[in-house]
Amino acid sequence: MLGAGWLWMYLGAFLMLLEIVSPGFVIFFFGLSASTVGLMRFAFQDSFTVTWQLASFSFLCIIYLAVLRRLLRKLFSGFVSQKGEDFNDSMSGRTGVATEDIVPPLTGRVEVGDASWTAVSDVPVAAGAAVVVISSDSLTLKVRPAVAEAGPAK
């Protein structure tokens, strides 16, 4: 026959695995509480009665949800830029080089930074020409030929 400690451990494992298919990141902490009660049952044996087990489970659920959930959500939520910068803003205005001819309305390839991108242009662009990024649509950049700045007249 399974002891109470093992039943708590199995319940905890089941609840933690159930979190994989459910949104919200809440059920995990119930599973963590059940597993902790199972470990406490192993440690204290018969002196850890059913009343203490249920009280400990309730208390641990509240503590884990209040404290650990906040900490772990920060850890798993990722970083959000405070500037509101997005991909379109960061690519606009950058310069690169056409690695393939771009003949409208077909796409070509450009190299901006250290990456190669699919690109479109309103005017033909020859391979090897310098380009400036105007905007982006998903992973396709809209470019125009870079205009060489005129130097002082001699």
pLDDT tens digits for range 25-42: 788 899 999 999 999 999
| 153 has pLDDT over 60 | no
Distance CA 5, CA 46 (A): 10
Going along the chain from its start, the domains and CATH numbers come out as: 4-77 (no CATH), 88-145 (2.40.50.140)
Q: What is the mean pLDDT of residues 69-94?
A: 68
Q: Name 144's bridge partners.
A: 132
Distance CA 55, CA 38 (A): 13
| pTM, to two decimals | 0.49
Q: Which residues, 6 or more positions from 131, have their beta carbon under 8 angstroms from its beta carbon?
A: 95, 96, 97, 98, 110, 119, 121, 125, 143, 144, 145, 146
pLDDT at 41: 93
Tell me the CA distances in angstroms from 84 to 80, 88, 140, 141, 142, one per residue in order. Answer: 8, 11, 21, 20, 22
Distance CA 11, CA 36 (A): 11
pLDDT at 132: 94
pLDDT at 137: 84
